Amino acid sequence: MAEYLLLVYEDEPATSELPAAEEAALVGRFQEFMRRNETSVRRGQRLHPTSTAASVRRDDVDGGVRISDGAFVESKEVVAGYFLIEAENLTEALRLAQEIPVPNGGVEVRPVRSVPDA
């Protein structure tokens, strides 16, 4: 089985403005997704808002490091969470990704590269 990282993107302002009942229902749909796919989902977590993020970048000019508040890019959709799954192939990983209940965004499917033993 191969590992895939399913990156959940959302429109952060739209999701943060959901009424409490809608947010609770959405959390329930995510929990149901994880129960339904418990043999494939190894881990899944929601992330704190981008306002709590920090970014670390290498400076190509002097080789130093620059740390700044916030996420790397400013865009409408940001990484809001992830699932690490095991799947036979990309087709199966995409099938699982389609089940993730993301009302204001989407899911990026990335195969995890295995590191050879040292």
In order, the DSSP letters of 42-100 are EEEEEPPPGGG-EEEEE-TTTS-EEEEES-SS--SEEEEEEEEEEESSHHHHHHHHHHS
CA angle at 110 for the pair 16 and 117, rounded to the nearest 5°? 125
Entry pTM:
0.84
Residue 82 pLDDT level (bands cut at 50, 70, 90): very high
Residue-wise pLDDT tens digits, 4-17: 999 999 998 888 88
- Mean pLDDT in residue range 63-85: 82
Residue 44 has pLDDT above 90, yes or no: yes
Residue 72 pLDDT level (bands cut at 50, 70, 90): low
Closest CA to 80 of 43, 108, 47: 47
